[in-house]
A and B are shown apart, each in its own frame.
Chain A
Amino acid sequence: MSKTNYSRRGVLKSGAVAGAGLALPTIFTGSSAAAFTNEPTGSTVTFGFNVPQTGPYAEEGLDELRAQELAVEHLNGIGDGGMLNTFSSKALGGDGILGKQVQFVTGDTATKSDVARASAQSMIQKDGVVMINGGSSSGVAIAVQGLCQEAGIIFMAGLTHSNDTTGKDKKANGFRHFFNGYMSGAALGPVLEKEYGNDRRAYHLTADYTWGWTQQESIAASTEALGWETVQNVLTPVGAGDFSSYIAPVLNSGADTLILNHYGGDMVNSLTQAVQFGLRDKQVNGKDFTIIVPLYSELMAAGAGSNIQGVFGSMNWNWQLQDAGTQAFVRSFGEKYGRPPSGSAHTCYVQTLLYADAVTRAGSFNPCAVAEALEDFEFDGMGNGPTLYRGADHQCFKDVLVMKGRDNPTNEYDTLEIVEVTPVEQVMYEPDHPMFAGGDLGECNDGA
């Protein structure tokens, strides 16, 4: 019969020593992992695509998701490579990023700031994402950008057009490829002058949140510089649905131009209702009444139907451009999904590739190294001509498109025509421009 001499105290002591011994390598590894937030340690790296999958901008969000999925395929070497073939930087080879295959998780912002933050938080904490991309609203973008700054990961904004995103609310960890309200005003001004002259009386209907305010301010500044008078600016609730009680006063206001600072479903409804009230058939001050929609998207244009014909607006990018980058992207996207990509899809696709490229050039997923690689980065071949990611405010500067609703569309995607490609010099501004003042990028946060 054998007897063991293990005492309870002895077992506990031995266990403690063995446990400490086993834990030692893990402690060092843990220290290494804490070098920055969600440092990828395996053979994969995870991106977080936070887009509206429900709510009024869900169609924009779904198109963004399509483009993001396509970008991941191209990064992993699947498909024809799309814009990787035309991108001026040749750091990416279609074999993942720094030897790691890219995977992604998705979240639903529902176009609500609190929901978007919760979704982003979950992706950062549970899924270990190194970058968040997406969004179809400036309110959401600003909220998520703030969260990413606190968490120490990079935010590559999707569709956000408010001046504030890279103005008073800019953050060192946030980057915007999309254009902004100021650029829309600067691009539209000369075209409107040429089309409608210098003597106009404009009535603004403006969505009552950060995007609407800054776009209205930008467009009013641009048109007033032409000599136009701003008769009235009326703030309207987001999602009002029936805008008739806001449109009716326009009829007797003496205005000859209605500027709709609305987006998505609100723009579709307000434009449709303005046309129903006969505004486009009206003559005021001896001039034909006109309607302007400063920010267009293809999905909105399709929703507005024939009401959009002849209406001027602006866009960040459009699938009808003829450069090699655009053609490569439209072909990849069109063959995979059977439809041309929207502007929001384009910006999310480009942002995903730009992030991957910056990581590769920096040789690290550390957000501060990535931010440094993106700052003042000049590139081409992504559909917008030569582009600068300005370091001072993390805003991309590139050509802007002035668009017009097509008079005789030939198919369901042929809703808009490009009137002018406004050169980047015309839409540039100083980082301390009054419309962008009041914010501070602050220091990059890597979460360490």
Chain B
Amino acid sequence: MDAILLQILNGLDKGSAYALIALGLTLIFGTLGVVNFAHGALFMIGAFCAVTMQRLFSLSYEVVDETQTDFLGNPLKVQVPYVEGWFGEGAGTTLIDWSVPLAIIATIPVMMLIGWAMERGLIKHFYKRPHADQILVTFGLAIVLQEFIRYFFGANPIQTPAPSDYQGTVQLTQAIAYPVWRLIYFFFSAFVIAGVFAFLQFTTFGMVVRAGMADRETVGLLGIDIDKRFTLMFGIAAAVAGLAGVMYTPILSPNYHMGMDFLVLSFVVVVVGGMGSLPGAVAAGFLLGILQSFASMNEVKSLIPGIDQVIIYLVAIVILLTRPRGLMGRKGVMED
């Protein structure tokens, strides 16, 4: 029973990341009709916002310590962070320690700006082109962004730990201790997802966007500039992916190709959930995350070796055979 509960929790964690990425993908597809293969790269850039924040707080000046030597036998140059000099050692250390949560503040505008620039600078030129063209150009863009990050940050994973107060485990039952940060990630994701749904459901802006998703032409005839709103939705989708990336960094040390690892699975999530369906993307994200975790259990793997690698795709095949539009897909989406 404990093992099952543990795998459900693990699944919810993975599912949270899948759901957030898939939510952004669906927002873009639903509003702009673009299949955005660069969305995984946006998740990765979000993660590197946390790395950048950590590095900014850790910017240092050198102090030569004559009592110690470096690997060449020269006096050791000790790095002292500027923030420790400005705010005192205690406050400086706390700032560095809290760089991941603090990165959220910077990530939202940065990612919205990147999303806006991507949409206005490149993707808008492909609205009327076939989906294959959109996939090719966004996939190419993802590779460019990935190599850009590799150039500046290197290829190795970079440790970006959670604040030290949240690094331990919390005792959920007598036998189960679960990492605190993973629970935080789940609740954070639920909060972001709820926020996006509330924004679309309860604001005038959201209402217009939903109307535009349902019938773009009619909304345009009413004199509403739907394109502007959709561009903003692209920015919001980028910010959601970025937030998913920032908060994921203590779970998975960021590296330049982490976006690609999530992209393919997130696309399967979108297809299983139903193209264009926001609730479908979220539900499928959590469902596939949990299934993937269960498939990794030794008991399951001993029955069907290798099932952990293919479970998501098997489920996708079964769902698409039985429900061709996915779990909550809408009629007419991607069926032309």
In the complex, are the beta carbons of A278 and B156 less than 8 A apart?
A: no
B93 within 8 A of A: no
Q: Which chain A positions have C-beta within 8 A of B76? A: 410-411
Query: Which residue in A241, A410, A413 is a CB contact (below 8 Å) of B252?
Result: A241
In the complex, are the beta carbons of A277 and B169 less than 8 A apart?
A: yes
Q: List 27 A-B contacts (CB under 8 A).
A: A54-B150, A55-B257, A56-B155, A57-B155, A58-B150, A241-B258, A241-B261, A242-B13, A244-B13, A245-B292, A245-B293, A248-B293, A252-B2, A252-B3, A265-B156, A265-B157, A268-B159, A268-B253, A276-B169, A277-B179, A278-B179, A303-B157, A304-B159, A305-B159, A305-B161, A340-B71, A411-B76
A97 within 8 A of B: no
Query: Which residue in A245, A281, A330 is a CB contact (below 8 Å) of B7?
Result: A245
A251 within 8 A of B: yes
In the complex, are the beta carbons of B175 and A269 less than 8 A apart?
A: no
B129 smallest CB distance to A (angstroms): 29
B140 smallest CB distance to A (angstroms): 16
**In the bound complex, what is the Cα–Cα distance between A58 and B147 (angstroms)?**
12
Q: Which chain B positions have C-beta within 8 A of A278? A: 168-169, 177, 179
**In the bound complex, what is the Cα–Cα distance between A319 and B70 (angstroms)?**
12
B247 smallest CB distance to A (angstroms): 14
Q: Nearest A residue to B176 by beta-carbon distance?
A: A251
A246 within 8 A of B: yes
A249 within 8 A of B: yes
Q: Which chain B positions have C-beta within 8 A of A413? A: 71
In the complex, are the beta carbons of A272 and B298 less than 8 A apart?
A: no
In the complex, are the beta carbons of A303 and B159 less than 8 A apart?
A: yes
Query: Which residue in B154, B296, B309 is a CB contact (below 8 Å) of A246?
Result: B296
Task: List 9 extra interface pairs beyond A56-B257, A272-B253, CB under 8 A.
Answer: A55-B257, A234-B298, A244-B14, A245-B14, A249-B298, A251-B177, A276-B181, A281-B169, A303-B253
In the complex, are the beta carbons of B71 and A330 less than 8 A apart?
A: yes
In the complex, are the beta carbons of B179 and A276 less than 8 A apart?
A: yes
Most chain B CB within a 10 A radius of its CB, from A58, A232, A245, A302:
A245
Q: Which chain A positions have C-beta within 8 A of B147? A: 54
In the complex, are the beta carbons of B72 and A334 less than 8 A apart?
A: yes
Quick one: which of B156-197 are within 8 Å of A by CB? 156-159, 161, 167-169, 175-179, 181-182
A431 within 8 A of B: no
Interface residues of chain A, those whose CB is within 8 Å of chain B, are 54-59, 62, 232, 234, 237, 239, 241-242, 244-246, 248-249, 251-252, 265, 268-269, 272-273, 276-278, 281, 299, 302-305, 307, 319-320, 330-331, 334-335, 340, 410-411, 413
Q: Which chain B positions have C-beta within 8 A of A304? A: 159
A338 smallest CB distance to B (angstroms): 9
Given contacts A305-B161, A334-B71, contact A248 B156 (CB under 8 A): no
In the complex, are the beta carbons of A303 and B6 less than 8 A apart?
A: no
Q: Nearest B residue to A339 by beta-carbon distance?
A: B71
Most chain B CB within a 10 A radius of its CB, from A234, A237, A239, A411:
A411
In the complex, are the beta carbons of B3 and A248 less than 8 A apart?
A: yes
B255 within 8 A of A: yes
Q: Which chain A positions have C-beta within 8 A of B135? A: none
Q: Which 5 A/B pairs are nearest by Cβ-Cβ distance?
A: A58-B155, A245-B296, A278-B169, A305-B159, A248-B6
A54 smallest CB distance to B (angstroms): 7
**In the bound complex, what is the Cα–Cα distance between A112 and B167 (angstroms)?**
35
**In the bound complex, what is the Cα–Cα distance between A62 and B298 (angstroms)?**
38
In the complex, are the beta carbons of B71 and A232 less than 8 A apart?
A: no
Given contacts A56-B255, A273-B251, A276-B167, contact A237 B156 (CB under 8 A): no
Given contacts A237-B309, A276-B167, contact A245 B177 (CB under 8 A): no
Q: Nearest A residue to B296 by beta-carbon distance?
A: A245
B68 within 8 A of A: yes
A283 smallest CB distance to B (angstroms): 12
A439 smallest CB distance to B (angstroms): 26
**In the bound complex, what is the Cα–Cα distance between A277 and B7 (angstroms)?**
13
In the complex, are the beta carbons of A239 and B175 less than 8 A apart?
A: no
